[in-house]
Amino acid sequence: MVTDAAQIRIVIVDDQAMLRGAIAALLELEDDLAVVGVAGDGEEAVRVVAESTPDVCLMDIQMPGMDGIAATQAVRAASPGTRVLIVTTFARPGYLRAALDAGASGFVVKDAPAEQLAEAVRRVHAGLRVVDPALAEASLFEGANPLSEREQQVLRLAADGRSAAAIAAEVFLSAGTVRNNLSAAIGKVGASNRAQAVRIAQDKGWI
């Protein structure tokens, strides 16, 4: 695709093809924006960005395989000049913190008006940081993710109801160690049981 030198070159990453197309169509209405590539998952995003070196990459979070947080780190490593703007349905404080820690320059929700998304792209391209105001406020009051990486891992695996023994076999730990991690996670999030802990951690974007 041939673009004007003055245009901001964009790659869109989302696992829903219809949504990718809709976002691309909206952004292409802006004279100063040009979509130069799309990807359906994190791994494809890294390849597309490495090939096209866009100015801005719009990144979803929840995708199969490599999620948007890991993909943000990989994209920034593959193309340091590319700025990442998270565009997601999941307005969770934990996701915001993780995304910014991974190197994202902004975080907006998908129900934002089209002109607001276009302006966010311009601001991120200009070197500014753009964060949804309500989410930024919530993140301030929620605090940092209290769970260790291991606790996050076992809680994610517990989300589908699998036993401590099944989780232990997958992560190469003893069942006792898994139970200890689950117990610690339950306590840290203020839950009364495993299912509630999973629900709280998911709602806050901690897992």
pLDDT at 5 over 70: no
Whose CA is closest to 145, among 192, 71, 207?
Answer: 207
Note whether 139 and 170 are within 8 A (CB): no
Q: What is the mean pLDDT of residues 139-154?
A: 79
9-52 confidence digits (pLDDT tens): 999 999 999 999 999 999 999 999 999 999 999 999 999 999 99
At residue 114, the pLDDT reads 83
Residue that the structure tokens 């997601």 belong to: 88
Q: Which fold has domain 149-204?
A: Arc Repressor Mutant, subunit A (1.10.10)
Task: Count how many Cα atoms sit within 13 Å of the Cα of residue 82 in the half-sphere of its side chain.
Answer: 30
Provide the H-helix boundaries in 2-86: 17-28, 42-52, 68-78
At residue 111, the pLDDT reads 80
Per-residue pLDDT band at 140 (split at 50, 70, 90): low
73-96 confidence digits (pLDDT tens): 999 999 999 999 999 887 777 788
CATH number of 8-141: 3.40.50.2300
Helix (H) or strand (E) holding 61, with range, is none
In the chain, where the domains are located:
8-141, 149-204
Tokens describing residue 71: 């993909």
Per-residue pLDDT band at 137 (split at 50, 70, 90): low
Identical fold for domains 8-141 and 149-204, yes or no, is: no
